């Protein structure tokens, strides 16, 4: 991708670096995840089922985005498929993101918070589910991309509060 400035850009902006793909770059995989928060302030995590990569580890619900799919729409699709719930885009609040270099790809994961959805949360893909206090996330083994979120999430959710929804 070439982002070189053109004639319509101000002179000081012409010093921006050129962004290009480089040899040996890992494919970028976009995944959206959600911290679903119930009325008691607990966060939903799901355990990856046997037969999937990173089986047995706990993660925030979500999944891979399809080509050209907006993160919010992909997340809504994934949460309906995985948990049987419906979420309005306006109920998803951007929270943070994770970026992690796995062996064969680089994962970029926007994470949203959500306090409001329609339907009862249920495991539709054979995964285990757990509602946990944000400050207890450290008790659960998570994939490397989710690991840093254990310490961040309690503070971030505390700053946002339910009032944003």
* 165 residues of the chain, pLDDT tens digit each: 445 555 555 555 555 444 455 667 899 999 999 999 999 999 999 999 888 888 899 999 999 999 999 999 999 999 999 999 999 999 999 999 999 999 999 999 999 999 999 999 999 988 999 999 999 999 999 999 999 898 888 888 877 765 333
For residue 26, what are the contacts with CB-CB under 8 A and spacing of at least 6? Answer: 101, 102, 104, 105, 106
146-154 contacts at long range (C-beta below 8 A, 24 or more positions apart): 146/33, 146/57, 146/58, 146/59, 146/60, 146/98, 148/98, 149/60, 149/96, 149/98, 149/111, 152/96, 153/35, 153/43, 153/95
The model's pTM: 0.81
**Number of domains into which the chain is organized:** 1
In a domain, 158, yes or no: yes
In a domain, 17, yes or no: no
What CATH number did the domain enclosing 68 receive?
3.90.79.10
In a domain, 144, yes or no: yes
Write out the residue range of the structural domain in which residue 95 sits: 27-164
Which 8-state DSSP code applies to residue 130? E
In a domain, 74, yes or no: yes
In a domain, 18, yes or no: no
In a domain, 4, yes or no: no
């Amino acid at each position: 991708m070439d982002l070189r400035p053109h004639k319509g850009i101000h002179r000081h902006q012409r010093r921006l670096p050129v962004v290009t793909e480089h040899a040996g770059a890992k494919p970028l995989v976009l995944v959206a995840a959600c911290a679903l928060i119930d009325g008691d302030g607990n966060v939903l995590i799901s355990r990856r089922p046997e037969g999937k990569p990173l089986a047995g580890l706990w993660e925030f619900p979500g999944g891979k985005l399809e080509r050209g799919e907006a993160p919010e729409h992909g997340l809504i699709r994934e949460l309906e498929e995985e948990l049987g719930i419906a979420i309005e885009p306006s109920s998803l609040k951007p929270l943070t993101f994770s970026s992690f270099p796995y062996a064969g790809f680089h994962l970029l994961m926007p994470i949203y918070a959500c306090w409001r959805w329609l339907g009862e949360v249920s495991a539709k893909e054979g995964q285990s589910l757990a509602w946990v206090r944000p400050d207890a996330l450290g008790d659960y083994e998570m994939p490397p991309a989710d690991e840093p979120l254990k310490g961040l999430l309690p503070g971030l959710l505390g700053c946002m509060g339910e009032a944003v929804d």
